[in-house]
Structure 1
C-alpha cells in the first residue's frame, strides 16, 4: 500500500525530527507567520531573506517561461518541507518560484540567523538537505505522471498529495487553481472532477473538494502515488 506522509499536527516535520540538541539551538530564532493563498514566497534571481517551515497549508514550486508565456508547477510541499533550497545548496539566488496554494502558517527563520546556526551545528544542514532529496524524487514522479497518466488520474494524485498536507478531508481549492497546477484547461479539470465524484471518491463544491474515499483514490492512481512519500519516510525514518 502507498505510504502517506505522517502528520505532526500543528508542527513542521523537519523541525520536529531534529535532534533535541538542534531543536534547542534553533528554537529561539523561529517566529510564526501566516501563509495566505497567492503569496509569492520566492522569486528567481532574488536573494532569499528567510526560510519558512510550513506547519499547515500547501506551497508549490514553479518555473516560468517568458518565451512560452506560461508557468509550470513542478512540485509541492507542506508541513513536511521548507523553503530556501538555494540557501541549503549555497546558491546566491533561487531559480524557481514558490507560491502559497492553500493558506496556512509557518515557522520563520531569517537567512542570516540560519547561516549562523549551521556554523554551530552542521547536523542541522545535513538534516534539512534530506528534504531536498525527497523533493527531487517527487519532481521526477511529477514529470512521469504528466507524461503517461490521464487528467483524471493526475487530478486524483494531486488531491491525495494535498490531502496529505491538510488536516481535514476538506481541501480549499478551486478548479481554476487545479488547472494551473496540472497545466491543463479548466474544462478538463471539471470533467475529471465530475468523473471522480461519479465514482464516489470525492464530493466537489464551489471552491472546495471533500475527500470521500481516500483508499479508492489510491487504488485509481496506483503506483503514481506513494514512492515519493515512501522515500520521504525512509529518509527521516518515519
Structure 2
C-alpha cells in the first residue's frame, strides 16, 4: 500500500467518508490517503485492524476460508463502503481476510482516532452504527441470493455492482477471480460468462472484463440487483449503467 497526496473534501469519492466529514469535519484531519494494489492483503483474519479503510476506486474482497483451503467472497467493498468499521468500534478481530481485488485509491482513518471521535460525538456514533447496520442488511441479502439464484444471475449482478463501486466498466478480473468471488468451479463460471458474452452484454480476454451494455447485463441479473441499488446515489447508478 502506497501513500498518495490527499485531496480537498470536495474530491472525496467514498460516500461514507463524505458523510463522516459532514457529521464531524475534524475527521478529515485524521485521514491518510492510500494506493491499494491488486493482491495486497489489507486485513488478516484474526487481526484487530489498525485503521478503517474507505475505498475510492479500489475494490476489496473479504474472503472466508474453508477447512480444505478453498475461499469464497463474503463481501465486495467499494466506494460505498468502509472496511474494518465493526472491528474498529468493538476492538474485536476481523473474522475474514480482506484483499485488494482491483487496484485503486483509498483513504484510511486510524481506528483509535475514529473510535475516540465516535465516543465524543453522538451524531457521528449514530452514523457509524447505521453504516454497520447497512453492511449487515447487505450480508443477509447476499446470503439469500447465494441460496436461491443461479450463477449467471449472481455474476451479472456482481459485475454491475462492481462498475458502481469502482466507477469503471473495464474490470481487471480473471475467470479464476470471478469463480472465487461466486464460490463456484471455473467451468461453471465460464459457462455463465459465455451466456452474457453471446448476448453482447460484455466481453473478456487476457484477464479483463469489459461491460459493453449494462442494460443487457441487467437483463441477466437477479432481483437482488434492484435491492442493492438502494445503497447508491443516483449518480452512482447512472455511472454503473453508462456505456463506456
Q: Secondary structure at the match of 1:56?
A: coil
* Number of the residue aligned with 2:219: 219
* Number of the residue aligned with 1:37: 38
Assess if the C-alpha contact under 8 Å between 1:58 and 1:104 holds in 2. Answer: yes
- May I ask how many residue pairs the two structures share in their alignment? 225
1:206 matches 2:206: yes
Assess if the C-alpha contact under 8 Å between 2:62 and 2:96 holds in 1. Answer: yes
1:18 matches 2:25: no
Distance 1:105 1:147, change over 3 A: same
Assess if the C-alpha contact under 8 Å between 2:31 and 2:108 holds in 1. Answer: yes
The alignment's TM-score, normalised by the length of structure 2, stands at 0.84
* Number of the residue aligned with 2:65: 64
In 1: Cα distance, 2:63 partner to 2:38 partner = 15
* Number of the residue aligned with 1:176: 176
Q: Secondary structure at the match of 2:20?
A: coil
Q: Which moved more, 1:209-218 or 1:120-129?
A: 120-129
1:197 matches 2:197: yes
* Number of the residue aligned with 2:120: 120
In 2: Cα distance, 1:47 partner to 1:18 partner = 22
C-alpha offsets along residues 44-91 of structure 1, whole Å, 9 cap, x if unaligned?
A: 22121111111111111222233x432221111101111123334414
Distance 1:18 1:85, change over 3 A: closer
- Compute the RMSD of aligned alpha carbons: 2.2
Assess if the C-alpha contact under 8 Å between 1:85 and 1:94 holds in 2. Answer: no
| Larger RCO, structures 1/2 (Cα 8 Å, 6+ apart) | 1
C-alpha offsets along residues 193-222 of structure 1, whole Å, 9 cap, x if unaligned?
A: 111010111111211111111112222224
* Number of the residue aligned with 2:148: 148
Pairing 1:68-147 to 2, within 5 Å after superposition: 68-147=68-147
Assess if the C-alpha contact under 8 Å between 1:12 and 1:79 holds in 2. Answer: yes
C-alpha offsets along residues 82-123 of structure 1, whole Å, 9 cap, x if unaligned?
A: 112333441421212212111111111112222222233232
Structure 2 stretches lacking a partner, 5+ long: 1-9, 234-244
Assess if the C-alpha contact under 8 Å between 2:152 and 2:220 holds in 1. Answer: no
* Number of the residue aligned with 2:239: none
Structure 1 stretches lacking a partner, 5+ long: 1-7, 234-238
Q: Secondary structure at the match of 2:83?
A: coil
The alignment's TM-score, normalised by the length of structure 1, stands at 0.86
